[in-house]
Amino acid sequence: MKRKTLLFVILVLTAITVGCASNAQVTEVAVSKEEIIQMPEPILKELEELKSKETYQAFDMGGEILLFVSLGEKQSDGYEVKLERAGIKDDKLYVQVNKKEPTSKPEAEVVTYPTALGKVSGDALPRQIVFIDGTDYTKVIEEVSVSPVLGEQESIINLYFASTEGNLKNETRSFSSFPNATKGTEVLAELLKGPQKQNGLKSIIPEGTKVLNYEYAGSTGIATVDLSKDISKVSGSKDESLVVYSIVNTLTELPGIEKVKFLIEGNEVETLAGNISLKDPIDRNAELLHDNTLK
């Protein structure tokens, strides 16, 4: 299962001093409305857990920012929240949030979870988000007072190593800032270092293997990894499977990565040891995890 990942420093407006309209130059960006049910499974689970409390969150999806606001659990219907508009200025993404409460007393008690989910796409998106409640953000950008909700977050990623039981087990690794799908090189570097704890795990990737290049295509969800020829020093189908899925299962921990394509010294290869075809991108393999052993 993929870990929960908060990818940004998230700021929420706590006070507004409205004076004359600001002359700040703001680059407007489109916010597309998204449905929670259509999100990838790791993000879907994250949002389902977050919606029961009032929260403002943002996730890096590899070239896209997913914005999520929840008003928390309410005991009646009639509550609404919308991501109205967004703009970029001074390396911050400002998001205008409009909320609505019931205009009359509800006839019956019903539990609701008013939420809004949106997505912003683009190159070099800001790493800080400022949510502004119910005010035209273009008029207050230079006059807002903001406080960090969660601050700079330490992100935890699962790395998968071979266990003595013949499967892959995870060891968590901390990153000061979350390495999104475009930065899989950072995660692979940690994987190649091997496990840090004395927990019966070992690196199954052949010694000397280096990452020569890494690319991620957000349109396909495919990460392409170019490895040195040392990766071919694999003997037997069991070790081959563990090597391949140690890499694949680790990289697919990153939101946005669905499959991994392997290259060796810049060239496509058919297989490492004759058991697994590498001609096409490889999916995550949950059967090798936890208590499942390779037969």
Please give the Cα distance from 269 to 290 (Å, whole number): 29
Which percentage of the chain shows pLDDT scores above 90?
A: 34
Q: How many residues does the chain have?
A: 295
- Helix, strand, or coil here: 25? coil
Question: How large is the average pLDDT for residues 45-54?
Answer: 82
Digit-coded pLDDT (tens) for 179-204: 677 778 999 999 999 998 877 899 99
The whole model's pTM is what?
A: 0.54
Q: How confident is the model at residue 163 (pLDDT cuts 50, 70, 90)?
A: very high
The whole-number pLDDT of residue 286 equals 83
**Tokens 């396909």 sit on residue:** 220
**Closest of 160, 148, 174, 164 to residue 251, by C-alpha:** 160
- Residue 178 pLDDT: 57
* Among candidate residues 229, 222, 210, 228, the one with its CA nearest the CA of residue 248: 222
| Amino acid found at 183 | K
**Residue 87 three-state SS:** strand
Dihedral angle, C-alpha 13, 15, 20, 26, nearest 10 °:
-10
